[in-house]
Structure 1
Amino acid sequence: MNRSTFMAMKRIAAITAHPDDESFGLGGVISALVEGGTEVTLTCLTHGEATTLGSAEDIGRLRCRELEQAAAALDAATRRDLTVFAWCLNSDVARRLNSELNTSFQGIPSEATELELTVDRNKQIEAMNCHASQLQANPVPFRRLELQGSREYLRLLRASHNGTDPSHLRPSYRLEHQ
């Protein structure tokens, strides 16, 4: 799949493990897709209650609110019969983060991904800032952006059967949270 085919998708699903992944990892990609007319469904699989950052008893509720704010900032939308893509952390960036910040990320070489996308980080940074509970004393998200610059790497997991002409779509917002 090439960049123009990817960016012309009508609808795409972004599925994350917990609140903040949509901003820290996919914010630039989601923003680029929505700005290009793609409707993006954001599905988050947890409430983020198992975080090691913060100890409030109601952290799950707080993180759900943060997720809703970030999704609104990204203009996420929803539909069925969606193309599903996976965001990939570049292996060079993973090595630098591990070296500089004592993390243990495992990246994927850029040549093992199907699509390299150039993105604008402005909306992503706005959405990231909605997750204040996860940015406290956590330099990783912003350092990743510094290291990766405007490039993101994706793998196609499932192609839709809905065509690729996004011209009739206007971005809308609905959050799916399990």
Structure 2
Amino acid sequence: MAGIPRIDRAVVQLAATYPRAYNGGMGQDAQARSREEQARDLLDAADTVLAVVAHPDDESFGLGAVLDHLATAGTSVTVLCFTHGEASTLGGEHADLGALRADELDAAATVLGVKRSVLLDYPDGGLTDVSVDELAGHVESLAAEVRPTYLLAFDTTGVTSHPDHVRATEAALATADHLGLPVLGWTLPAQVADQLNPEFGSPLVGSPPDLVDLTLPVSRTRHHQAIACHRSQSTDNPLLHRRLDLLGDTEHLRLLRPHRPAPRARADDH
């Protein structure tokens, strides 16, 4: 794609250079420990987290309270966003919606304490036309720079069922499988999705209680401030505000990938 450099997916040998928090116990007796314990350990031990999302506002509307929780605890947070969100139908017409949403992302990231945000220029609504390997190449390249303790993404359903959300998570999972990184996925409880869908005609996909690995108490103060930064998308968005009302002061996470050693380099990786 024009304007987007091609990245060769060489194996990045990260584990040996990661901070001790990454290796500190996450690989020991992992099978014997509950998924909740593993997810909690990741949150508590994280030096650096790389969040992978599809659109500007995903980092706030979806992950905002979790990112704020991490940054407040001293975790260095980086956000990788694949598109400018220029195809959104919210917020009316704008001469250059993609540029506006890029500015909104920068403002929201500052509010949430995000150390760095990286915005790529794939077409909004077109991520499924891009190979998972190509997208994962960008995640791996950034992971080589920031050396995250784990990746954070939307649940495998995309939560809203948006194909771009699903594809962004697929790229995060492909990276995790290649590098041996853990992945936490933001999800909605099924009972919240089941209440919102008939109310708004939305296609939200929630997780039943047995698939929610961690319920996280959060503060909404900076979360709401970050949402307000995305004025083009949040001003007329009753579904978003109703969802936050139902969630209260909790967010929900799934352990999509536990920690495991990175695979050996393949012959075609050299």
Structure 1 segment 76-155 matched on structure 2, within 5 A: 76-78=114-116, 79-84=146-151, 85-155=184-254
Q: Relative to total residues, which structure has the larger helix share, 1 or 2?
A: 2
Structure 1 segment 1-178 matched on structure 2, within 5 A: 1-3=38-40, 5-53=42-90, 54-78=92-116, 79-84=146-151, 85-158=184-257
So what's the TM-score if we normalise by structure 1?
0.83
Q: How far apart in 2 are the matches of 1:33 and 1:125?
A: 16
Q: Runs in 1 of length 4+ with deviation above 6 angstroms?
A: none
Q: How far apart in 2 are the matches of 1:39 and 1:158?
A: 20
**How far 1:64 moved relative to its partner?**
0.5
So what's the TM-score if we normalise by structure 2?
0.56
8 Å CA contact 2:188, 2:206 repeated in 1? yes
8 Å CA contact 1:7, 1:38 repeated in 2? no
**How far 1:136 moved relative to its partner?**
2.8
**How far 1:113 moved relative to its partner?**
2.5
Q: How far apart in 2 are the matches of 1:40 and 1:156?
A: 18
The AA in structure 2 aligned to 1:24 is: F
**How far 1:137 moved relative to its partner?**
2.1
**How far 1:87 moved relative to its partner?**
0.9
**How far 1:98 moved relative to its partner?**
0.8
Q: How far apart in 1 are the matches of 2:238 and 2:44?
A: 30
Q: Relative contact order (C-alpha < 8 Å, sep 6+): which is higher?
A: 1
Q: How far apart in 2 are the matches of 1:50 and 1:80?
A: 32
The AA in structure 1 aligned to 2:150 is: T
**How far 1:160 moved relative to its partner?**
6.8
8 Å CA contact 2:57, 2:227 repeated in 1? yes
**How far 1:8 moved relative to its partner?**
2.9
Q: How far apart in 1 are the matches of 2:112 and 2:55?
A: 16
The AA in structure 1 aligned to 2:221 is: N
1:66-88 deviation per Cα after TM superposition (whole angstroms, max 9, x unaligned) = 00000010111252244012211
SS in 1 for 2:241: helix
Bigger mean CA deviation after superposition, 17-26 or 95-104: 95-104
Q: How far apart in 1 are the matches of 2:81 and 2:99?
A: 14
8 Å CA contact 2:189, 2:212 repeated in 1? no
Pairs aligned (count): 161
CA RMSD for the aligned pairs? Answer: 1.8
